Structure 1
């Protein structure tokens, strides 16, 4: 694994896994949230984000954390592995709420400085609707790409897989 994507619903633990996996595989880790967001929760333009991604995916080794379905098409052709944290949404909601509480008012380590964690009802509803919208689109984008997808359904699956590396 030299060019790895870590995807899944919000709150699944993509950034936590990416940090650990990047260290284990000695890969540089890039967080989509840091690439996309500017201080003050200002979103990068699609062109800015695509330009940043083009500079990364052209390298021999990397790990990119984040689903960001609109840019999977720019990343999947270069990836040799996709780690898909396909966790139950109830677990992800609990983890998201814990993250919001833990980092409330300050930026979390995988987010751009100047983007303090906050409760966003629209974001929560996005996560609650993951299985009927974002998941369907993500699954469709994965089809047709010759990339190894490692689908993990629980934190226990993840631990077993990490232990096997």
Structure 2
């Protein structure tokens, strides 16, 4: 289990990596920060009709992203976690309950927020068995990687948010810091 920073002392963030299960709210959160460019990895990983892009092209596009002066990158390509993590000021881990993420993924089949442009063109929402399995095993796959990254890059703040309430508290903290 990653170490949780629940107090958010002295956040000075320009580069934010957001990870979490599909349906945890990563893209919604990324769009909220309209003053920081948001990059949704699914837009770069897939071409139209859910065809996977050449992986080297995908990595190349991420390298371009991380050298921007500020960014929010949301997505779960574990192979490139380290590349993004080491350049981030902050990693937000949206570790929401499985049931809630499953609910939201199915809900997206019928309702998609129009302000969130997180997919490649012609990639309609769909739910496949492979996605559900991926969601189920997410923590087992990701937590050991995060523990290693935390040890290797201690200057990167890792904050685990496990509910909408915690996300809202985090947002209020950021707003308070900007106002004071």
1:129 to 123, 137, 140: 137
Deviation of 1:102 (Å): 2.3
Once the two structures are superposed, the pairs formed by residues 64-143 of structure 1 within 5 Å of their partners are 64-103=73-112, 109-143=117-151
- Report the equivalent of 1:4: 16
Deviation of 1:9 (Å): 1.2
Deviation of 1:144 (Å): 1.5
- List runs of 5+ in structure 2 lacking aligned partners: 1-12, 175-180
Deviation of 1:137 (Å): 3.6
- Report the equivalent of 2:55: 46
2:46 to 32, 37, 51: 37
Q: How many residues matched? A: 158
Q: What RMSD over aligned residues (CA atoms) do the two structures have, in Å?
A: 1.6
1:152 to 128, 151, 161: 161
**Worse-superposed segment, 137-146 or 38-47:** 137-146
TM (norm. structure 2) is 0.81
Deviation of 1:93 (Å): 1.1
TM (norm. structure 1) is 0.88
Cα distance change of structure 1 residues 140 and 98 upon mapping to structure 2, 3 Å threshold: farther
Contact kept in structure 1, 2:105 and 2:127, CA below 8 Å = no
Matches of 1:109 and 1:30, distance apart in 2: 10
Q: Which has the higher contact order (CA 8 A, sep 6+)?
A: 2
